[in-house]
Structure 1
Amino acid sequence: MDIAENAALVVVDVQKGFEEVDFWGTRNNPAADDNIAALIDAWQSAGRPVVFVRHDSVQAGSPLREGYEGNGFKEYVEQRRGKGGGAELLVTKSVNSAFLGAPDLGAWLRAAGIGQLVLAGIQTNMCVETTARMGGNLGYEVVVPLDATYTFGLEGPFGWRQSADELARASAVSLHGGGFARVVTTEEVLAGG
């Protein structure tokens, strides 16, 4: 796998509020945080661009709402911000796609001549998947190291319920099989960089 010299790592919503198990339920992929940290370290060491995305929820009671402790980045992410030799951007959003936040992610990527994105973060089937789909639709080459993402079980219509693992697999199949993104492992990304 070839990772472009100027590929941007987009770290989606790695926020403290996702640690509130009573709100979210059971997560999958316990190694995701270590993999996200490894990707940030590799990008910063290589002087590649890193985008940190924060979800500022407008829903009352959300652990990700502005002004609440859970809105902040997890400690390992906060400690790494501003430490790299490459360009860095903070995008805030209140919807699922990082392309619909502020400042305008697409404009920043175009201005920098970036055509490849590596997406990691939370939740696999929500903001990571939505950002990947939009990125693919906008013509970016999107890579998603699935083991650098995680999600939670969810109930949908008709009483249907899917576990976090089932949702992550469904996202991976939709993204990869649908041509929105290439779904890989963190190890593959690091080896390709």
Structure 2
Amino acid sequence: MRLVLFYHVAGAELHDALQVVRENRPDASIGLVVEAIDMMEPYISRLVEARVVDGVLPLNLRLDVFMAAIDLLMKGGEHFPSALLGRLSNRPTTQLEPSLYQTKSVDAARANALKLRRNSMAALTTREVQILDLICKGTQNKIIADKLHLSENTVKVHVRNIYKKMNVRNRTEAASRFFNDTSESSDLSGRWPH
């Protein structure tokens, strides 16, 4: 299990569910699916502020963006819409209940999982992850550009940025690093996520 998405789960139930996931699968990403950013409960906002969850997916996102965000979360990245982060930065900070991470073993497991996931993949944007996904399938820049409705030059810029962020020199190294990074943080090592 690499990703757990919660939708329509009340605060107390969500608290318990998050604790169970973190105790049993500390390396799994956790996302919250919400109706819209402006409809988020205060408890969920506090979870986001404390980065207890790895992403928030509003249902009013375009489907391709929503799926790219899920893909990003499955690969160990984070997805927090800029509108959400802007709203949270304008509010006074509040503290989460300390019982969310109540044992040292859960803390240690979470810290180790975060170290594994805070690699070069986490630095990639959603668009870069889409392009990396196609690179790993052996797709040429021209075809990537056509599929994503971009110019070939824009794809080349994204590819250069991917190489720089992943500290690789070519497509083969990028694909190798991608598969090694995702298999280390997954029970499905060696399997492609699609």
Higher strand content, 1 or 2:
1
Return the TM-score normalized by structure 2: 0.28
Higher helix content, 1 or 2:
2
User: Max radius of gyration: which structure?
Assistant: 2
If asked which structure has higher relative contact order (CA below 8 Å, sep 6+), I would say 1
Return the TM-score normalized by structure 1: 0.28
